[in-house]
Structure 1
């Protein structure tokens, strides 16, 4: 029986993972990533849901809390309901995770599994997110309170990255949009509330 990947070969590839319908994997995608996706796409629909995404990431040695996986769906899914992720989107997510993990490991200089205020700000800045010290202090306070820790652990760092990425992209989209102030405010509020509710 042909694999799901072969059944999708004839479909259009969207290099940015913004397709409204399933697409194929980008050329040169790591076979481990393709296998992880296909293993959970049991119905060969070309998309996976939140539960399947969690399983696929685990197969690639990325284990996250339910809340973090919901954040991934909010940020990386281009489906109208934010409930499905296709191959292109999965690869964008996977590549982001690799980069974010590298940045976290570099920032965690004392190798204690957490990063602190200055380290968090440096890490986010290195990813192209010019986060203010006040915003970083708010993140630190939130995650220390939740974890009773003296720093931000890896899973929470990934949440920070996803939230900052999502809000930054929404803000940039507003700047490009010539729409009314009401429209841009509504768009930004929707993005912020997605993360609050996740």
Structure 2
């Protein structure tokens, strides 16, 4: 098996850091995106609806802990619908939207909760939520960077560019397969939440591959059961 990426893009399952070389907007492209973007791409359109991937913007409640961003705390309190002090994947799903106002899919929310659920409780607290929110915003920058036609979706060609510039040496055929697998809307493209899920999956499998690639040459020999274990264990 081969295809091991030749470069890293940050820590475990982290998106490329903001401001990196390939994160710079192309002339006349992403740099102007914020001025022409449709409602839902990070701002608050008329009517006060949430931005791209953002929960509703509530008024700042009292009780914000010292050192915590008041706006972030307000979001946390709003997302925490049952006031338990913890956020579940279901609560997170109700708070996050794509550019077309569809809620994030349940699996992406479960994966993101799993990444930051350090105590394995199945939920995240305030400080874990802060880490998750920074993670989502980083991925949003990456998504916008490669959504060259500003459609709010990434097609196979855009995905091919994104993966390869992130260091994953994959083919166009592989990217087309990813689109088929993760395109829940059957639009032959990926929404923001689908894109996050595909990247988390790809990173997780790459990490499993790397453990077995002892020569670091992009090739491994793997027994049948080991391969099945690697595939079934694919999770953040």
TM-score tier (shorter): 0.5 to 0.7
Q: Which has the higher helix share?
A: 1
Cα distance change, pair 168–32 in 1 and its aligned pair in 2 (3 A):
farther
Q: CA deviation at 1:73?
A: 2.4
Separation of aligned partners in 1, 2:139 and 2:129: 15
TM-score normalised by L of structure 2: 0.53
- The alignment partner of 2:149 has SS state of coil
Q: Does 1:80 align with 2:123?
A: no
Separation of aligned partners in 2, 1:80 and 1:187: 21
CA distance in 2 between partners of 1:118 and 1:106 (Å): 13
Residue of structure 2 aligned with 1:164, choices 202, 217, 221: 202
Secondary structure in structure 1 of the residue aligned to 2:203: helix
- Please give the TM-score of this superposition, normalised by the length of structure 1: 0.61
Matches within 5 A, 1:127-142: 128-133=166-171, 134-142=173-181
1:87 and 1:131 mapped to 2: Cα distance? 37
Q: Is the 8 A contact 1:170 1:191 kept in 2?
A: no
Does residue 96 (structure 1) correspond to residue 135 (structure 2)? The answer is yes
> Which residue is 1:113 aligned to?
152
Please state how far the C-alpha of 1:139 moved relative to its aligned partner: 0.2
What are structure 1's unaligned runs of at least 5 residues?
Answer: 10-26
Q: Is the 8 A contact 2:146 2:158 kept in 1?
A: yes
Q: Distance in 2 between matches of 1:52 and 1:189?
A: 28
User: How well do the aligned residues superpose, as a CA RMSD in angstroms?
Assistant: 3.7
Deviations 1:29-49 (A, max 9, x none): 6432222123417133xx322
Question: Runs ≥4 in structure 1, deviation > 4 angstroms?
Answer: 55-58, 169-176, 184-187
Q: Which has the larger radius of gyration?
A: 2
Partner of 2:83: 42
Unaligned runs of 5+ in 2: 1-60, 215-221
Give the total of aligned pairs.
Answer: 161
Q: 1:71 touches 1:163 (CA, 8 Å); kept in 2?
A: no
| 1:83-123 superposed Cα distances (whole Å, 9 cap, x missing partner) | 11133332222112112112222212122222222311222
Question: Secondary structure, in 3 states, of the residue corresponding to 1:152?
Answer: coil
* Superposition deviation, residue 62 in structure 1: 9.4
Counterpart residue number, 1:151: 189
- The answer on 1:33 being equivalent to 2:83 is no
